[in-house]
Structure 1
């Protein structure tokens, strides 16, 4: 959305440094966006909490780095689901508060949690502040609320921690579009986009590097292999490509996260179309320009058993896809940009990818299994 009311990321940084809240739009490839009221955690005041609770009306959360969560011994509520919002146990300051629900009490809890010398004994659980752990690498690896808000604070030169709440409309639903901009105008908030924050970070750093490349023979013909190492976790990821990749011309793309059952056994869920690895490779072989990014994702025993349970009808959802689309877009997007991709014909069911434009990418078409393009 192009609007004169959208300001640069640098202007948002300045607002946070002065202790003023801002509105950050988490924009996606479908052209919609949700909005977060954000304030720097180290400068959090009762007035910030009151505004978020009464005006924004979403759940008041605290974005923290994984290192800070570890420092405070805050375990995740749900382990092993990389696409679920990584909430930790809720918290309360262990001293200096009354019931914990007041704005004064919640602001104190936030400040206690982000104090430089904070220890687990400074907090108790459960409480009235809801921390969310950001992945290492921030929006360059995953584009969601915790990563966006902690990156925003860090880029402002502040502690990488932020208190935030989602903006709801008068009906209590997630506010979008002009409703968000009108909300910001009414309350004097400067508005920025997470895609611009991604672009700002990409101009200064990236979290993957190219370490190997060359031509190889596959079951579906010769392809170019490019190997990348991820700085944050040290994992190695692969990209297979063919043809002359040009930014202005659509490229057939598959970003494929490894799965033991789907890729080695060849299973799929009966109610959901899915691209197997070999099918994806065959599709690439017939395209003029194509890239397959293979994201290495080690599976824990619990994750493998959860996949088995889904196949056997024992419950569980698709761990690799959240209800509102993929948030973990950054890693694959960085690789695609390094290879020169701009416009994408994506081998996937239609989903919304957060901040994709910040990486200079645009999805022009989705291709489901069995479709001829």
Structure 2
């Protein structure tokens, strides 16, 4: 479907540019700034921080998560002796479990939180997709806890879960890139809530950024 909005978004990701992704009104009803993890620069992180304002995370595909031996944070905490079980979040108000795993810094970072440091951690994590032994490289090159939260996409991607984690990983893969994406929720400093889809669309139009509607993405992916 050349020329369709989703094709435009995929081409933007290939060029290392942003796309905005809205999940759905019946879910989180949030819009995330999304960039292909392997092409992330400090400029991407600065723009997410200034124009997004939410949590800057790295969403990774199930293949890499499995190769690295990662687990969901709620699973690890549930097996941690003495940890208060009542603190562990079950289903979120929007109906899904969290995809958070551990937080990491690359070993060459300093504090880990600067735009340069987070861009380095994210791009180096994406580079593990081409590593001969990703688990060994992960263990030797990254430290935890850190300043980049890792989000693990569900095994069936959009067939299992339809959150920003899965949508961004799907889009990166569709672009022929490592299935990993840097994502950040867009916040509204006037209402102190998530930026509305309408305001996000205007931002996208003003800045020449493709806007991806989650329902259209589900249809594009052929998922029922």
Which interval holds the TM-score relative to the shorter structure? 0.7 to 0.9
Match for 1:135 among 154, 162, 165? 154
1:172 positional shift: 3.1
User: 2:64 and 2:141 mapped to 1: Cα distance?
Assistant: 13
Partner of 1:186: 206
1:200 and 2:220 matched = yes
User: 2:213 and 2:101 mapped to 1: Cα distance?
Assistant: 26
1:90 and 2:86 matched = no
Deviations 1:270-308 (A, max 9, x none): xxxxxxxxxxxxxxxxxxxxxxxxxxxxxxxxxxxxxxx
Structure 1 unaligned spans of 5+? 1-6, 207-333, 335-373
Three-state SS of the structure 2 residue aligned to 1:59 is: coil
User: 1:54 and 1:121 mapped to 2: Cα distance?
Assistant: 32
Judge conservation of contact 1:19–1:43 (CA < 8 Å) in 2.
Answer: yes
1:29 positional shift: 4.3
Q: TM-score when scaled to structure 2?
A: 0.81
1:75 positional shift: 2.8
Q: Which stretches of structure 1, 4 residues or more, deviate above 4 A after TM superposition?
A: none
Partner of 1:62: 58
RMSD: 1.9
Structure 1 residues 1-373: aligned runs within 5 Å: 8-29=5-26, 33-79=29-75, 81=90, 83-94=96-107, 96-115=108-127, 116-117=130-131, 118=134, 119=137, 120-170=139-189, 171-202=191-222, 334=224
- Higher helix proportion (structure 1 or 2): 2
Structure 2 unaligned spans of 5+? 79-89
User: 1:152 and 1:139 mapped to 2: Cα distance?
Assistant: 11
Three-state SS of the structure 1 residue aligned to 2:143 is: strand
Deviations 1:162-199 (A, max 9, x none): 00100001133111132111222333321111211111
Q: TM-score when scaled to structure 1?
A: 0.50
Three-state SS of the structure 1 residue aligned to 2:178 is: coil
Number of aligned positions between the proteins? 196
Deviations 1:89-137 (A, max 9, x none): 101002x222111111101001111112142221110111111100112
User: 1:109 and 1:179 mapped to 2: Cα distance?
Assistant: 31
Which structure has the larger Rg?
Answer: 1
Judge conservation of contact 1:140–1:201 (CA < 8 Å) in 2.
Answer: no
User: 1:141 and 1:75 mapped to 2: Cα distance?
Assistant: 17
User: 2:203 and 2:24 mapped to 1: Cα distance?
Assistant: 16
Partner of 2:83: none
Judge conservation of contact 1:13–1:152 (CA < 8 Å) in 2.
Answer: yes
User: 2:214 and 2:36 mapped to 1: Cα distance?
Assistant: 16
Partner of 2:86: none
